[in-house]
Amino acid sequence: MAEILVLVDHVDGEVKKVTLELLTAARRLGEPAAVWIGPGADGAKDKLAEYGAAKIYVAADEELTSYVVAPKAALLAQLVADKSPAAVLVSATAEGKEVAGRLAVKTGSGVLTDVVDVAEGAVAEHSIFGGGIIAHAKVKTGTPIVAVRPNSIAPEAAPAAGAEEAVSVTLSDADKAAKITEKVVQEKGERPDLTEAAIVVSGGRGVGGAENFKIIEDLADSLGAAVGASRAATDAGWYPHSFQVGQTGKTVSPQLYIAVGISGAIQHRAGMQTSKTIIAINKDSEAPIFELVDYGVVGDLFQVAPQLTEEINKRR
Amino acid sequence: MNIVVLVKQVPDTESPRKLKSDDSTLDRAAADGVINELDEYAIEEALRIKEAQGGEVTVLTMGPDKATDSIRKALAMGADKAVHLVDEALAGSDALQTSYAIQQALGRTGFDLVVLGSESTDARTGVLAAMLAERLGVPQLSLANKVEIDGSAIKIQRQTDYGFDKVEASLPAVVSVVEKINEPRYPSFKGIMAAKKKPVDTIGIADAGIDAAQVGLANAATEVVDFAEAPPRAQGQIVTDEGDGGAKIAEFLASKKFV
């Protein structure tokens, strides 16, 4: 069976959940082979094997993570040449898509981004135009490169051998043209990553000010959720831009999305419409967000949200 | 400094966006065209760099005739001139082909700096900056929320999930920008009038040295197999708060096993 390369997303030696989703999807296409780039693979190999990695290619050289994206694409291009995989899967994060783009140029292959499902033959499903259209696409030329949106595919364990093989690549000067001199950690809390979280609680214009975002954070914390914000809220400076959910921000697809004080303009809907269950609290009964909801409450968020937090905490 | 800013015309997200049933490409006639939102930040950043460093800002657009509207707006904001790559042969090109066509067009304009938005609101592939940097063999300074230039040295802050990476490189380079990098200016009346006299170089694929066999729908590396309107979400339950709205949501969450 042909190999399917899966680029591992990891932070501080921890495999991110999206990688387990990619390994699960890869099993539909062939035999998953995880590709770990950077130091720290040892602590993660069991997890990768548990989710179906028959092989684990480890490129431990720290140099590969010292430059913007290009070295990762160089390593994958070499593996594509050496191992002739049937497809390469990466996560559809901002960086994952960039790796996919460079790899596509290097290998002369078609690339499909922001895919929400993958079927046999590497047929990819897209949810486009803010979730209004479902399209299926495939790659005609080269090795299919597919960037899959986090939280789109349920990860399932399927233990495999996880045989390790050390790999390396010689970087060109062009691969080393954009040097990362410092990684600055700004927001690191206990909350899960926005794009990976099973539950997201977002606040919008109705929240009314930076200080009121505590209401959103308290609700999020009662559910172990990530916090998001609409563009109105980030534009006003109430919450950092990196938490913006929407067309010009992050796309999320959690099990549960709670929109608080968000009217639901297309700008916002484009970033959350594929959430499985949607709840909204808004004082305007005509707000378009109510067209999407499974459950909605028309009311004052300053009354409803704290009560919800309290009720959830009571049930814990 | 020779700054080229890439501007894409996209369907207005407020108008209905459709795919054409015959070839599964975007129905550009069905929706109003506007400048891709993130490209406005790219134009603004290019203008600020020019204002600080001197030089010239050239708008480069690939797209149909009607993309002229977006080019005029970019010129009205303050760009000096434009190149409009328009050719039937380019219709239906995918990301890989588009990056090739733009690379070729950049051969005509030359550049010290290419600036673009990090993603378009229609295709949302987010790959163009990376593809261009790869093709051109120049530094990829993408997802920038801050750009500093000193001589031929360029530094950016690259937005990440955890904060940002500080990145250093030398010109020439490709820079893609994220939303919060600046506040795009509105075209002034004077700017709008001046834009009418600014040169727009309309070129076809032959002028740009683009090989027809490497662009267009028939030669794309990807293809849309089928598409359909997403099934509408089932109508949910909406209640008016009567002092127990929070408790009602909690009950709903419990019924769905979220709590």
Query: Can you give the residue range of the structural domain that contains A71?
Result: 3-176
Question: Would A181 be classed as within a structural domain?
Answer: no
pLDDT at position A188 is 59
Beta-carbon separation of A303 and B124 below 8 A = no
Contact (CB, 8 A) for B222 and B93: no
Mean pLDDT of B148-171: 95
pLDDT at position A303 is 97
Lowest average pLDDT, out of B45-54, B136-145, B229-238, goes to: B229-238
A157 touches chain B (CB under 8 A): no
pLDDT at position B185 is 96
Q: Are A251 and A300 in the same domain? A: yes
Query: Last residue of some domain: A122, A141, A176?
Result: A176
Q: How far is B111 from chain A (nearest CA, A)?
A: 17
Question: Would A19 be classed as within a structural domain?
Answer: yes
Q: Where are the domains of chain B?
A: 2-219
pLDDT at position A116 is 93
pLDDT at position B180 is 81
Contacts of B255 (CB under 8 A, 6+ apart): none
Task: Write the DSSP assignment of A123-181 as a string of letters.
Answer: EEEEEETTTTEEEEEEE-SSS-EEEE-TTSS---------EEEE---PPPTGGGSSEEE
Q: State yes or no: pLDDT of B14 exceeds 80.
A: no
Q: How far is B203 from chain A (nearest CA, A)?
A: 25
Q: Are A145 and A30 in the same domain? A: yes
The dihedral built from the CA positions of residue A104, B155, A194 and A235, taken in this order, carries a sign that is negative
Residue B42 is encoded by which pair of tokens?
A: 């790219």
CATH number of the domain residue A285 falls in: 3.40.50.1220
Q: Are A210 and A295 in the same domain? A: yes
Q: Are A172 and A205 in the same domain? A: no
Calculate ∠ Cα A256-B253-A152, nearest 5°.
20
What is the ipTM score, two decimals?
0.93
Beta-carbon separation of A304 and B14 below 8 A = no
Q: Are A28 and A148 in the same domain? A: yes
Q: Are A219 and A305 in the same domain? A: yes
The mean predicted confidence, pLDDT, of chain B is 94
pLDDT at position A248 is 85
Calpha distance A39→A41 (Å, rounded): 6
Q: Identify whether B172 is preceded by a cis peptide bond (ω within 30 of 0).
A: yes
Residue A156 is encoded by which pair of tokens?
A: 């399932």
Q: Are A220 and A159 in the same domain? A: no
Tell me the chain B residues in contact with residue A249 when contact means C-beta distances shorter than 8 Å.
Answer: 179
The pLDDT tens digits for B75-112 are: 999 999 999 999 999 999 999 999 999 999 999 999 99
pLDDT at position A241 is 86
Q: Are A224 and A167 in the same domain? A: no
A contact residues 2-41, partner B, Cβ 8 Å cutoff: 11
Q: Are A23 and A125 in the same domain? A: yes
Calpha distance A51→A22 (Å, rounded): 9
Contacts of B78 (CB under 8 A, 6+ apart): B43, B47, B57, B185, B191
Calpha distance A239→A71 (Å, rounded): 33
Query: Last residue of some domain: A176, A207, A232?
Result: A176
pLDDT at position B159 is 92
Mutate which of A311, A313, A314 to test chain B, going by most B C-beta atoms within 10 A?
A311
Calpha distance B116→B7 (Å, rounded): 7
Q: What is the mean pLDDT of each run of 10 residues along chain A (316 residues)?
A: 95 93 97 96 96 98 96 98 97 96 97 93 86 90 96 95 97 97 82 92 97 97 96 94 90 96 93 94 96 96 98 91
Q: Are A131 and A48 in the same domain? A: yes
Query: Last residue of some domain: A176, A211, A245?
Result: A176
Q: Which residue of A has its CA nearest to B241?
A: A299
Q: Are A122 and A248 in the same domain? A: no
Lowest average pLDDT, out of A165-179, A280-294, B118-132, B191-205, goes to: B118-132
Mean pLDDT of B9-15: 82
Tell me the chain A residues in contact with residue B240 when contact means C-beta distances shorter than 8 Å.
Answer: 285, 297-299
Calpha distance A253→A273 (Å, rounded): 7
A308 touches chain B (CB under 8 A): yes
Question: Would A112 be classed as within a structural domain?
Answer: yes
Q: State yes or no: pLDDT of B11 exceeds 90.
A: no
Beta-carbon separation of B229 and A133 below 8 A = yes
pLDDT at position A187 is 64
Residue A203 is encoded by which pair of tokens?
A: 């606040």
pLDDT at position B17 is 80
Q: Are A171 and A217 in the same domain? A: no
Mutate which of A97, A116, A127, A313 to test chain B, going by most B C-beta atoms within 10 A?
A97
> Which phi and psi (to 5°) does residue A269 adopt?
-60, -35
What is the CATH superfamily name and number for domain B2-219?
Answer: HUPs (3.40.50.620)
Calculate ∠ Cα A176-A193-A300, nearest 5°.
140
B167 touches chain A (CB under 8 A): yes
**Number of domains observed in the structure of chain A:** 2
B113 touches chain A (CB under 8 A): no
CATH number of the domain residue A45 falls in: 3.40.50.620
Contact (CB, 8 A) for B226 and B100: no
Q: What percent of chain B has pLDDT over 90?
A: 82
Residue B67 Cα distances to A69, A96, B215, angstroms: 32, 30, 19
